[in-house]
Structure formats: C-alpha cells, structure tokens
C-alpha cells in the first residue's frame, strides 16, 4: 500500500465574481518530493496554492494537507507548514531580516538555526536595513527564509526565485534539494521551466484552472516521438516553402527573429531535404542541431505562446 500523499486535491473549484479561477483541478503530491506547478499568469496556480495554505476557502472539491483540511484545521496545520507568498508579501515593512527570522524561530518547537539560514541565503550582507529598503530579490530571500525557519513538513513557495540573481538562484536550488533529502515536501509555482526541469520530481502544467499534463520531467518529454531541429538564418524566411518541402507531419516555426525550429521524426532523408532547401535558397543554416523535445517544447505545445489571461 502506498504512503498517504502530503497534499491531495480533488475536483477543486474556486470562483471570483462569476469567473472560474480553478475548474475541477485534482492533484496528489507525494511526501518528501518537489512538485513544480507551471502555467501562465491567470492559470490558477496562486489560487490553488493559497487554498492549500488555508488563505482561501474552496467553492467545491476537497483539499487535504498532511491529512488535514487547511480551512477548517488551520490551527493544527500552520505549525507544520511553511508558506512563501508571491513577491515576499505579508511582513511589516519596517522589520529587519535577522530580527524577523529570530522572532519567527521562537514561535516553533524545533526551528532551523537562524545564523545558518541567514548565511545560506546571503542575508548576512543586508545589515540592519528594514524590509522596505531591500530590493525585490532581497525580500524574496527573506520570505524564503521565513517559510523555512520553522522546519516545516510541507512548504509552499510561490515563485521562490523571482528576481534573484543567478548565484542566489543556484543557492536556493541547493537548499531545496537539501530539504527534499531531509524528507520535506516542497510545492512551488514557477514561470521558469528550467527551474522545474532541474528541481522537480513531479511537474504539473495547468491552464484555465485545469491540469493539462503531469508527470516527471522525463515522462512529459519521453512520450513525444518527434525530435527538434534548430538552426539560425536570416529573419523572416519563407517557412511555408520549407514546410512544403518536408513531410506532411513536420512543423516549422520562427521562434525568434532568425531562429528556427523544425519538429518532426528526424532521419537522414529529412536532414538532407532541409539542407537542400537551404542550399537552393542560398541560406547558411547556422548552428544546426538535432535534439529531443524539451519540457519547454511540451509546455509551449500545451499552453501556446501566450497562454491564458484573466
């Protein structure tokens, strides 16, 4: 018999003024794993996480975190859960980071060591500056530390590395890896597909409040039989002409000015057709590469370039 999930969402519905933000969403999060929730702005990611945190009440469906209802059992659940709100919101702007974390640590029975956490997240360089004087990325790091200081069993992180520089982002990734190794369950929302691919045991792609696909990064990409050929050339090539020269199942798109992708089952004949078309049109295919579909390819195929807006 499998262990009980740390988070279980069944047929969740949430509406705002007649607009359905979450539309029958179901999800299970295994204990001791990192789950990344991907989706465009307005897809329902933050609303779903806020319901799991007990900040919003669902209109229909059920949510259980560590077997408890976040709305009804909030008092019992809060000491066991860490929460990082979007953009580090929720703290008094005059608070100083180390003093804030020290205060929060005293509210928990077995907190993490505050000096260790401060050093790991680079907060020791902030001095006694209050939160209102910090940059967005610095406030993000303080909010992450506040979510972790109580040594939670489950931690919900809304865009945890937004605004961080590459070094701080890598440090955050390493810390999340260590939390997972210690048995902590991490649920994070992110717009950064490489972050999901790097960190997550399980990826959930949602749009319009529904789950479009889920699985490990390997499962989401290995089920796609087509490969991708990438090459550079002059902007605004006649992709319709190239598509007509290739097999009917191939797709061609200019993903950025002068950057092209051909999606198809790649074999020597297709490569020869592509290079022959380039030669006939006096085009040098720069940096031509053949690779497998990435998680970003799958995401864009499911969501589209623009995604949902609300």
User: What pTM did the predictor assign?
Assistant: 0.79
pLDDT at residue 15 in the model: 96
pLDDT band at 95 (very low <50, low <70, confident <90, very high): very high
CATH topology of domain 7-221: Rossmann fold (3.40.50)
What is the average pLDDT across 72-100?
88
User: Residues 5-15: pLDDT tens digits?
Assistant: 999 999 999 99
Determine the straight-line distance between the first and last CA of the chain, rounded to whole angstroms.
41
With H, G, I as helix, E, B as strand and everything else as coil, classify residue 168.
Answer: helix
The residues spanned by each domain of the chain are: 7-221, 225-292
Contact residues for 45 (Cβ-Cβ < 8 A; gap 6+) = 37, 38, 39, 158, 189, 206
pLDDT band at 280 (very low <50, low <70, confident <90, very high): very high
Residue 1 has pLDDT above 50, yes or no: no
Contact 145/112 with Cβ under 8 angstroms?
no
pLDDT at residue 307 in the model: 53
With H, G, I as helix, E, B as strand and everything else as coil, classify residue 231.
Answer: strand
Residue 4 has pLDDT above 60, yes or no: yes
Task: Give start and end residues of each alpha helix (H) in the chain.
Answer: 45-52, 74-77, 97-105, 114-120, 136-148, 166-181, 193-199, 217-222, 239-245, 268-280, 295-303
CATH 3.20.20.70, domain 225-292, yes or no: no
Assign residue 98 a region: left if phi > 0, alpha if psi is -120 to 50, beta otherwise? alpha
Residue recorded with tokens 């390493």: 174
């Amino acid at each position: 018999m499998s262990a009980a999930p740390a988070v279980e969402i069944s047929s969740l519905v949430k509406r705002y003024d007649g607009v359905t933000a979450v539309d029958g969403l179901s999800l299970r999060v295994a204990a001791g794993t990192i789950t990344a929730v991907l989706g465009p702005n307005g897809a329902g990611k933050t609303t779903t996480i806020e319901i799991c945190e007990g900040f919003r009440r669902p209109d229909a469906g059920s949510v259980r975190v560590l077997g408890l209802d976040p709305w009804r059992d909030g008092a019992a659940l809060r000491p066991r859960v860490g929460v990082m709100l979007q953009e580090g919101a929720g703290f008094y702007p005059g608070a100083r980071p180390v003093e804030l974390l020290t205060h929060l640590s005293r509210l928990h029975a077995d907190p993490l060591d505050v000096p260790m956490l401060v050093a790991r997240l680079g907060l020791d360089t902030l001095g006694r500056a209050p939160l209102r004087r910090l940059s967005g990325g610095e406030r993000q790091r303080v909010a992450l530390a506040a979510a972790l200081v109580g040594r939670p069993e489950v931690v919900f992180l809304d865009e945890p590395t937004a605004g961080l520089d590459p070094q701080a982002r890598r440090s955050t990734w390493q810390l999340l890896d260590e939390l997972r190794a210690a048995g902590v369950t991490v649920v994070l929302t992110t717009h950064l597909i490489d972050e999901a691919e790097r960190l997550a045991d399980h990826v959930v792609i949602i749009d319009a409040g529904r789950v479009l696909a889920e699985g490990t990064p390997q499962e989401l990409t290995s089920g796609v039989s087509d490969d991708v050929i990438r090459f550079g050339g002059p902007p605004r090539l006649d992709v319709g002409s190239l598509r007509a020269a290739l097999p009917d199942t191939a797709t061609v798109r200019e993903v950025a000015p002068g950057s092209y992708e051909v999606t198809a089952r790649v074999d020597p004949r297709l490569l020869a057709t592509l290079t022959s078309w380039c030669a006939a049109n006096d085009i040098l295919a720069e940096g031509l590469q053949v690779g497998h579909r990435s998680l970003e390819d799958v995401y864009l195929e499911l969501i589209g370039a623009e995604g949902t807006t609300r």
